Chain A
Amino acid sequence: MPTVSQAWLNDLYQAESRRVLATLIRLLGDFDLAEEALHDAFAAALTQWPDDGIPDNPRAWLVSTGRFKAIDQLRRKARFDVSYEDFAERLEAELVTGEEEEHSIEDDRLRLIFTCCHPGLAPGARLALTLREVCGLSTEEIARAFLTATPTLAQRIVRAKAKIRDAGIPYEVPEADQLPERLESVLQVIYLIFNEGYSASTGDALIRHDLAAEAIRLARLLCGLLPEPEAEGLLALLLLQDSRRAARVTPDGDLVLLEEQDRALWDRQQIGEGSNLVLRALASRRFGPYTLQAAIAAVHAEADSVEATDWPQIVGLYDALLALTPSPVIELNRAVAVAMRDGPGEGLRLIDTLLARGALTDYHLSHAARADLHRRLGRKDEARAAYQRALELVQQGPEQRFLTRRLAELDAD
């Protein structure tokens, strides 16, 4: 039997605290009360286990101790405010019925995810609450990762919990008929957490990468709890994007385009896992846009070079993606793939049609793509004008430097 040290307890906290919390929230019906109870239960373990020994089922002990501590807490509060009396009595009555045995702990984790990602909460609050309650990050860690002041972030979480309580957002996995829409909201939260860590060009790079890793962990947890094809598609997409992490930025923080990346730096293990998940999700025939984006990433990942890439397949996948979620940005990406398949002139024609329609006229990437295609056709003046237009519209430092470099190369030739 291990000795109960602070370090051992820290490990147990890492492994069990989110599960215990998820169950306590269901049993107590209140996030704050459950957090306090979780805290009290671990404090009790630290004082009791060294003398009494570790219980056979530490998780069950923590849940039951947390529950008793919460009732004690409410009884104390009831001495000053009678409105807590009913609450304490109700919890005590539920204790006798032993109703909780019917629910599995894993269901509680899923309930927690769906509640934190509820579309009735503000989008930013969903991310913060999920990282706080499901992933167990501290408020300070989340604030640092999102480049927000800690009090602002804490306030966002407090408001979200108040809305859950006051508006009656239930602690449940949605019914089958609501599941697809609600799952979309969960997947979106995970994807946004990943993007925050992966694509941001500011802030502490290390902390922000943790956010990408956290999103992958979360997607994995979701797949384990609810093996829906689109959840697996999202996990695949995150793994495949993350596999290029070492190759996509230079040591100076400059962006490296896919075609110029050193493919030897791509993480083969992540690619292997991601590709398998994509195949499985596609085979289910119940996949969605994340799976298709992952499939596109997988085709890139399997190629040794830009030239060896299966562009016809990528164009086909973009067609399928457009049919599912029409969007000008996807059309632009498809145009670039068409340029690779049929030549720059064909891609250019598609982008010009898009711009003539008034779509993406202020989006720097549509002008950068036009510039690149003109450059490949040897039309320097048109290329220069388009690079300059893209530079006027671009916001982020690394992309600005990239475009300036391209302009300079154009004049040097």
Chain B
Amino acid sequence: MKYLALVYYDEKLMEQKSQQEWDSLNRECIACVEGLSKDGHYITGSPLLPTSTATTVRVRDNRVTVTDGPFAETKEQLAGFYMLEAKDLNAAIVLASKIPPARYGSVEVRPARELVETGNQAGGNAAEPVEESTGEIP
């Protein structure tokens, strides 16, 4: 049998972790993958960027609709997954819209995050937050 192990956590709580805590968690995850691979249990997997990067794709009457955010329909349940390679979100949307159940439910498209030993957080490769400029002339 093949099993899909889905990982859930409270993003708000995880965001508060320090870089040190994140580095240590990421190292644990890398070790976990190595262990599973050695024992022949690991097929594929990846951490994801947070739900703020999610886009939902639906197809109704042959029309593709794209909305911001993760799927939020409690009537729908997880039915499967595809790991896709695409050059950008537009290309990923085109691929996702070809997934047949997109006609019945929704497909949430979320970028994968690279699992590295240091400098990586739930928000991806940490860049310093930039303040919104005011748009005034110097």
Contact = CB atoms under 8 A, between A and B. Distances in A.
Tell me if chain B binds chain A: yes
Interface of A: 9-10, 13, 32, 35-36, 39, 42-43, 46, 77, 81, 83, 119-123, 125, 132, 136-140, 154, 157-159, 162-163, 166-170, 172, 174, 178, 181
B90 A140 contact: no
B90 A172 contact: yes
Interface string B91-129: 011100000000000000011000000010001110110
A138 B124 CA distance: 29
Nearest to A167: B53
Nearest to B124: A166
B133 A36 contact: yes
Contacts of A140: 134
Contact of A139 (B53, B66, B127, B134): B134
B88 A170 contact: yes
18 contacts: A119-B65, A119-B67, A121-B68, A122-B68, A136-B135, A138-B134, A162-B53, A163-B53, A163-B68, A166-B52, A166-B124, A167-B54, A167-B110, A168-B88, A168-B92, A168-B111, A169-B89, A170-B88
Given A120-B89, A122-B69, A167 B55 contact: yes
Contacts of B136: 138
A172 B133 CA distance: 24
B75 interface: no
B contact patch SS: loop
Interface in B62-100: 63-69, 87-90, 92-94
B137 A120 contact: no
A162 B132 CA distance: 11
Place the interface of chain B in its size category. 35 or more
Contacts of B55: 120, 167
B6 interface: no
Interface of B: 49, 52-55, 63-69, 87-90, 92-94, 110-111, 119, 123-125, 127-128, 130, 132-138
Nearest to B110: A167
B111 A139 contact: no
B89 A168 contact: yes
Given A120-B89, A167-B53, A167-B55, A39 B133 contact: yes
Contacts of A174: 90
Contacts of B138: 39, 42-43, 46
B108 to A, nearest CB: 12
A154 B132 contact: yes
Given A43-B138, A137-B135, A181 B64 contact: yes
Nearest to B138: A43
Most A Cβ at <10 Å: residue of B49, B87, B124, B135: B135
Contacts of A119: 65-68
Contacts of A77: 128
A167 B132 CA distance: 19
Contacts of B111: 166-168
B127 to A, nearest CB: 8
A50 B55 CA distance: 49
Most A Cβ at <10 Å: residue of B53, B64, B68: B68
A318 to B, nearest CB: 22
A19 B88 CA distance: 24
Contacts of A132: 135
A120 B135 contact: no
Nearest to B67: A119
